[in-house]
A = this chain, B = another copy of it.
Amino acid sequence: MEAGMAVETIQREMTVFARRARASAGRLHPELSLVSYTLLGHLEERDGCRATDLAAHYALDKSTVSRQVAALERTGLVERRQDPEDHRVQVLLLTEAGRHILGQVTVSRRAAVGERLADWSQEDLERFAGYLVRYNAWPRSG
């Protein structure tokens, strides 16, 4: 395989994945959209953060994040807390309910993804995961 070819394959296959993920997310978990899920996931991973951080990480407009967070707060999955240091910022935190839902969805998603990865060797899994992390670690969007 030539280098440009591999790059193109990577880009094409990532996109296929993206489309299918969106589709299956809606079907499997009507209660939690893919966007909401990823936002909650980020909150859990970072143990709380600002709306702006979410926007930056997912290359979303701050207005989009604002609305998503508002919805998540309405359904009681996240909680906002004023930063005592700076009254402009709101620290976003998972509520107990949020943590619970996220756990459930994660389990069933892991099952779905795990099914396709069932016959992969542990070595391949780790290498694949490592490649993805490395790819996304690049600061610029792409």
Contact = CB atoms under 8 A, between A and B. Distances in A.
Interface of A: 1, 3-4, 6-24, 34, 38, 41, 57-60, 106, 109-110, 112-117, 120, 122, 124-129, 131-136, 138, 140-142
Contact of A20 (B34, B59, B115, B116): B59
Contact of A124 (B19, B113, B131, B141): B131
Question: How many copies of this chain does one complex carry?
Answer: 2
Contacts of A7: 110, 113-114, 117, 125
A135 B4 CA distance: 20
Contacts of A120: 134
Contacts of A59: 19-20, 22-24
6 contacts: A7-B117, A8-B110, A20-B58, A20-B142, A23-B58, A116-B140
Contacts of A122: 3, 6
Contact of A116 (B1, B24, B133, B135): B135
A22 B113 CA distance: 22
The 10 closest A-B pairs by CB, nearest first: A18-B18, A13-B132, A23-B59, A6-B125, A116-B138, A9-B129, A128-B131, A6-B129, A19-B58, A20-B59
